[in-house]
Chain A
Amino acid sequence: MHIPDGVIGPGVSAAAGVAAAGGFGVAVSRSRRYLTDRLVPMAALVTAFVFAAQMINFPVLPGMSGHLLGGVLAAVLVGPWVGFLVISIVLIIQALLFADGGLTALGLNIINMGLIGAVGGYAVYRIMFRLAGLRPGRVAAVAAVAAFISVPMAALGFVFEFALGGTIESLSVGAILVAMVTTHVLIGIGEGVITFFVIGAVMKSRPDLVYGSPTFSGNRTEELAS
């Protein structure tokens, strides 16, 4: 899912960079409202965990693998905007230290995995969790479904960017859309499974630390039920 350099032209890449920087600013100001001292180690730990988990490519089809994006995982654990920052930090480290994800494509990748994956994915989680009756016992399962949905959502972000600024114009955007969505629905299954087990484990040991759960002991910037 990490867009390399060269695929999306400089105009759209730069615009995405500006948008990602704006998102970073919004995320910082939202995070300041609830990220208390007590939650800082958790947010740092989630950052390290998402980095580690993204190293693990699991086989999906013959000749194709996938890995966790971690947007919904992070957002349900530490909130959507801290989740956005978690994903941004991971993407910056990957691009600068591990040559994974293009340098000019950093803004695009932050939009797709941070803004769409974490913030957008959390919006899906919230709607579904309300429909599921706001029960703490359902946090992990609802997060898993939202995580599953968030992967093709992020893939659609790429398709949109490719349609706007792809550096090769002879290709059918429709065919790329179908290919991106079908492959990422399959990858999304892995995303859902991993998210289910990780959030389930944290809910068992520290339900008070899980932002997206009614058991969360801190303040949220937006209520679960409203």
Chain B
Amino acid sequence: MTRKGLAFFLAGLVATVFVAVVVSQFASSEPDGLEYVAEREGFAGQVEDHGLTDAPLADYGENLSTGNGLSTGIAGLVGVVVALALGFGLFWMIRAPKAGPPGSSS
């Protein structure tokens, strides 16, 4: 990566971590659009418990025993790291093959 590319990537990463760890503290906990419609139109009762509600990070840290804000921040940070790692892994694996030298036919 060039120096300019690295600077852009790091700036983007800082912004991303800031959103996941800090801005997430101020997220609304009201139902989202689909949950709201489910309640009003009468299919909220169909919803089954998620199979992984006991997972450590379920509901973005509700199961962590720290204070609520810190739990959300930890969940956000872990999510960002995992998303970045899986993104790098998958996209690196499927990246375009390097173009052959000029003049080669393929």
Residues in chain A within 8 A of chain B (CB atoms): 1-7, 28, 31-53, 55-61, 63-67, 82, 85-86, 89-90, 92-100, 102-103, 155, 158, 162, 166-168, 171, 175-176, 179-180, 183-184, 186-187, 205-206, 209
Are the CB atoms of A64 and B36 closer together than 8 Å?
Answer: yes
- Within the complex, the shortest CB–CB distance from B78 to chain A, in Å, comes to 7
Are the CB atoms of A5 and B20 closer together than 8 Å?
Answer: no
Using known A-B contacts A57-B28, A57-B30, determine if residue A52 contacts B87 with beta carbons closer than 8 Å.
no
Are the CB atoms of A41 and B19 closer together than 8 Å?
Answer: no
Using known A-B contacts A6-B46, A37-B95, A89-B87, determine if residue A176 contacts B37 with beta carbons closer than 8 Å.
yes
Cβ contact of A41, chosen from B5, B53, B72, cutoff 8 A: B5
- Residue among A52, A96, A166 with the highest chain B CB neighbour number at 10 A: A52
Using known A-B contacts A4-B48, A40-B95, A98-B60, determine if residue A64 contacts B5 with beta carbons closer than 8 Å.
no
Complex Cα–Cα for A38 and B9 (A): 11
SS class, residues of chain B in contact with chain A? helix
List 6 tightest A-B contacts by C-beta distance, closest first. Answer: A44-B87, A6-B48, A47-B87, A52-B20, A99-B58, A65-B28
- Within the complex, the shortest CB–CB distance from A42 to chain B, in Å, comes to 8
- Which residue of chain A has the shortest Cβ distance to B45 in the bound complex? A168
- Residue among B37, B42, B49, B80 with the highest chain A CB neighbour number at 10 A: B37
Contacting residues, chain B, for A37 (C-beta < 8 A): 95, 98
Using known A-B contacts A53-B19, A55-B20, determine if residue A35 contacts B91 with beta carbons closer than 8 Å.
yes
Complex Cα–Cα for A47 and B89 (A): 12
Using known A-B contacts A32-B95, A43-B91, determine if residue A179 contacts B41 with beta carbons closer than 8 Å.
yes
How does the 8 Å CB contact mask read for B38-75 relative to A, with 1 for contact and 0 for none?
10111101111111110101111000000000001001
Complex Cα–Cα for A84 and B83 (A): 14
Are the CB atoms of B43 and A7 closer together than 8 Å?
Answer: yes
- Can you add 13 more A-B contacts, CB < 8 Å, to A44-B87, A45-B84, A64-B32? A5-B47, A35-B91, A41-B88, A42-B9, A44-B84, A49-B16, A55-B24, A56-B27, A65-B29, A65-B30, A155-B33, A168-B46, A175-B41
Are the CB atoms of B43 and A171 closer together than 8 Å?
Answer: yes
